[in-house]
Structure 1
Amino acid sequence: MGRQGRGRAASVYAGDGGGRAGVRRSAAQRPHRHHRPSLRRLGWPAMALPDGARSYSSAELRQCCAQGACLVLRGRRLYDLSPFVRLHPGGEQVLRQRAGTDIRDALDGPPHRHSDNARRWLEQYYLGDLRDAEPAAAATQNGVRIRPSASSLVTTPKEKMDPRCQSVDIDKDLVDWRKPLLWQVGYLGEKYDEWVHQPVDRPIRLFHSDIIESLSKTAWYTVIAVWIPVVIYLSCYCYTSLANNEVRLFTSITTKYSIRIYKYYFPVIFVAGMFTWSFLEYSIHRFLFHMTPPSSSYYLITLHFMLHGQHHKSPFDASRLVFPPPAAGLIIYALYVFINSVFPEAFATTLFAGGLFGYVLYDMTHYYLHYGSPEKGTYMYKLKAYHVKHHFEHQKAGFGITSTFWDHPFQTRIPEETFGKED
């Protein structure tokens, strides 16, 4: 099961929880991220196979690659990775360079050994089979290289899908993807943890109500529009208060040894708030978002899926990568009240403003790690690869988002991959 020869992103979804051709979806359920021409309009006549898959010739493969599509082979199995090019953690250029080639050796590494989830993810872009294999000498036609890997296409029989990556029929999956998922996942019980950590490339609907469903989705720029004005206002207010009033710490304990807070302390306190948020970010992600709900608790499983499980199931759903302001506002207000009950107002609000700014950076960083294309070798490039490993392979490690700082002292850093020397 996979994408049909036309390659339309809305038509078929495969992989765990994937869809099936012929099932019509509402506009709200159809993916809207991938905008690419259909392969039919790119001149792709295909021959249907008995099992419903389609086959293509090497000439058709070269033609489509020459027109900008990113098609790759695994043996004779053909995949269209065009929708995934910009999202690839190794960078767009890596996939572009492999267009038209057999990627079996690349999947095993080095530099990276792809996980079972990554291989399952690949099956969602399956188009069909290559029905003819041409000599390597003819593979440079039209300027497109078709480089056979160590496992030559000429001698390889029809490649079968890895059984670990078997696509799941929409009618046989553990949940019904044509209905809101939030009220279904609680019934998965002991199967929930494995199911939720097998990511798919498809949108998720949580609620029956269109209004509530819309409120559960947030565009990335909404976070900036809502919270940055609050940060600016609080920062101005706090700086003025520190400049015009005598603010002291620990006056409730002792007046003799209380500490005066001057206005030029403002940036230090603000940064301290950002640092405090980084610890909260790590702690919330590790102990709340990645709690393992009891298999017997319908409500805790449902709560976990609503808070974070849905993001792990569909990690590239752009509308669910940042926290909705109404829900975030409740938590933010509770933290504001708590901090002001512990410290003097001007000091507490400055600390809070720095923490709120740290939260905005966290949400923007998280969105970029999923949808950005950082340059290879940069800090963000390494952080993106690190975070994607958290989603696809190391769900019990790598809890830092804006940095990996707290993963070190708490020993939850994702280990580096090592490859032995070949004989």
Structure 2
Amino acid sequence: MSPSTSPRFFTKREVTRHHTKDSCWVLLGSRVYDVTAFLRMHPGGEALILGRSGKDVSREMEGPPHRHSENARRWMEQYYIGELVPESDTENDTLELQNLRERRNTSEQTKEKTENGVATEKFDHQKAPYNLCSSVDLENDLVDWRKPLAWQVGHLGEKYDAWVHQPVDKPIRLFGNPLLEAGTKTSWYWVPVVWLPLVFYFSWSCYSTLARGTTRIAITSDFSFMLHKYSFPLFFMMGWFLWSFIEYCIHRFVFHMKPPAHNYYLITLHFLLHGQHHKSPFDGSRLVFPPGLASFVVGTFYAILNSLLPEMVSMSMFVGGLCGYVVYDMIHYYLHYGAPKKGSYMYSLKAYHVKHHFEHQRAGFGISTAFWDHPFNTVIPDEKFES
């Protein structure tokens, strides 16, 4: 709800009626929030919110066990829909509530025309499946959301780092050109469609070649040994493990570089690579790598392995690393949009990754695993979500 829109008014009885996955409302004091769209995004799971639907969640926001960050509180304001009024059976209070709503409706009617006089469609709260409030204050934000953002963010300078780490629930348009913009978006299923056939083919090729019993690795001019076909799973898993380290390094040192405030081009590059994901973490069209961009990383990975290791060893490790990349991208998508079972490995990963987005942007760089955060001392402090 934009600041210029008059608040709606609801009774406690109206709020408590919204307690399902299709319509879930909560209270913060006297403020009413429609959090239906946030249910599956919540790192603690849907059940935690549904169990408190229609109730005041102020204590849960403050903790313990988990005190929500300022970003989490700012994010929640996107779902604000109105104010709670005391419910009473007296005629005077009923008339007061009706008057409040009538004044609000009158106020909205005066704003139904845009600046150029063209009538706009009035929002029907009762028919809407969930809250459709504006995600940002279009008048006061540091950028103009009505225009492509790619060429604006570089001008933010020293304000960029704080701005980009204040997430919003709003799709981002990077470029004005439709073809260029479309090239930055990728549906999740294209990752397995493009890369898994290569994983299967090269896995079969490596195993078949090793099964012939003709592949030898020369240690010196006088000594060599045979590579058995059962060595393929070992090299495959070594490649996967190597990818997990590369995943960590790229996320920490490339995606989370802090561009100099005076460098327009590095700020723009950072935003295109990863900043836009932190600004709009639930933009489903930009949660996985476009295959074209990923091919440069994949090609570099193969070239380095091939230059350092014997052919069959490098190819076996490469296909393991490629499989690890596919799993990483699928896990990343699932952490944003999945609803893992409480107590599962994916549940803990989702909570870990969401805390990285909302509170600990300089830690928690592991995505498919938090393993590498431990030796590099970037582990997010453990907090238990209330059951």
Match of 1:27 in 2: none
Give the AA of the match of 1:97: G
What are the Cα deviations for residues 320-353 of structure 1, in whole angstroms up to 9, with x where unaligned?
0000001111221122122212222222111100
Q: Which residue of 2 aligns with 1:375?
A: 341
Paired position in structure 1 for 2:15: 61
The question of whether the paired residues in 2 share the 8 Å contact of 1:107 and 1:114 is answered with yes
Give 1:197's aligned residue: 165
Q: Identify the match of residue 76 of structure 1 among 30, 33, 53.
A: 30
* Structure 2 equivalent of residue 397 of structure 1: 363
Q: Deviations over 1:33-87 (max 9, x none)?
A: xxxxxxxxxxxxxxxxxx6112112232233447952101111000000111111
Distance in structure 1 (CA, Å) of the matches to 2:226 and 2:264 = 52
Go from structure 1 to structure 2 and tell me whether the alpha carbon gap of 1:61 and 1:295 turns closer, same or farther (over 3 Å shift): same
Matched, 1:94 2:54: no
- Cα distance per residue 1:7-45 (max 9 Å; x no partner): xxxxx6xxxxxxx77xxxxxxxxxxxxxxxxxxxxxxxx
The structure where helix makes up a greater share of residues is 2
For residues 408 and 257 of structure 1, do their structure 2 counterparts lie closer, same or farther at Cα, with a shift above 3 Å needed?
farther
Q: Residue 244 of structure 1: which of 212, 224, 239 is its match?
A: 212
- Work out the CA distance in 2 between the residues paired with 1:260 and 1:101: 68
Aligned to 1:291: 257
1:374 Cα deviation from its structure 2 partner = 0.6
Of residues 287, 312, 335, the one that matches 2:301 is: 335
Q: 1:90 to 1:418 in 2, by over 3 A?
A: closer
CA distance in 1, matches of 2:88, 2:281: 38
CA shift, 1:247, in A, is 2.8
Encode CA deviations 1:92-137: one digit per residue, 9 max, x unaligned.
Answer: 01110110000100001122110000000000000010121569xx
Which residue in 2 is equivalent to 1:132? 86
Unaligned runs of 5+ residues in structure 2 are 90-134
Deviation at 1:417, TM superposition (A): 3.7
Q: How far off its partner does 1:212 sit? A: 1.5
In 1, Cα distance between the equivalents of 2:241 and 2:88?
A: 58
TM normalised by structure 1 equals 0.77
Give the AA of the match of 2:196: I
SS in 2 for 1:230: helix
Candidates 57, 60, 67, aligned match of 1:113: 67
CA distance in 2, matches of 1:409, 1:291: 20
Residue correspondence of structure 1 range 250-261 to structure 2 within 5 A: 251=218, 254-261=220-227
Q: Secondary structure at the match of 2:23?
A: coil
1:94 is paired with a residue of what secondary structure? helix
Q: Tell me the distance in 2 between the aligned counterparts of 1:390 and 1:198.
A: 12
Are 2:267 and 1:313 equivalent residues in the alignment?
A: no
> CA shift at 1:246, angstroms?
3.1
Q: Which residue of 1 aligns with 2:114?
A: none
Q: Which amino acid aligns with 1:244?
A: R
Structure 2 match to 1:276: 242
**How do 1:210-225 residues align onto structure 2 when only pairs under 5 Å count?**
210-225=178-193
1:231 alignment partner in structure 2: 199
Q: Does 1:263 align with 2:217?
A: no
* Contact 1:248-1:344 within 8 A present in 2 as well: no
Distance in 1 (CA, whole Å) between partners of 2:312 and 2:369 is: 29
* Secondary structure at the counterpart of residue 205 of structure 1: coil
Q: Indicate conservation of the 8 Å contact 1:174/1:188, yes or no.
A: yes
Change in 2 beyond 3 A, CA 1:408/1:132: same
Cα deviation digits, residues 146-169 of structure 1 (max 9, x gap): xxxxxxxxxxxxxxxxxxxxx852
Q: Which amino acid aligns with 2:185?
A: K
Name the residue aligned to 2:150: 182
The 8 Å contact of residues 213 and 229 in structure 2, kept in 1 or not, is answered as: no
Q: TM (normalized to structure 2)?
A: 0.84
Q: Note if contact 2:18-2:54 (Cα within 8 Å) is conserved in structure 1.
A: no
Instruction: Map Cα deviations across residues 286-308 of structure 1 (whole Å, 9 max, x no partner).
Output: 11111000111111001101111
Work out the CA distance in 2 between the residues paired with 1:98 and 1:227.
42
Contact 2:25 2:32 (8 Å CA) reproduced? yes
Distance 1:67 1:400 in 2: 31
Question: Equivalent residue for 2:322?
Answer: 356
Q: Which moved more, 1:298-307 or 1:206-215?
A: 206-215
Letter in 2 for 1:216: T
Matching residue of 1:171: 139
Q: Matched residues in 2 for 1:311 and 1:134: separation?
A: 46
Matches within 5 A, 1:31-42: none
**Percent identity (aligned):** 58
The whole-number CA distance in structure 2 between the counterparts of 1:200 and 1:134 is 37
Stretch moving more, 61-70 or 221-230: 61-70
The C-alpha deviation readout for 1:246-265, integer Å capped at 9, x for no partner, is 3334x3x6233444322110
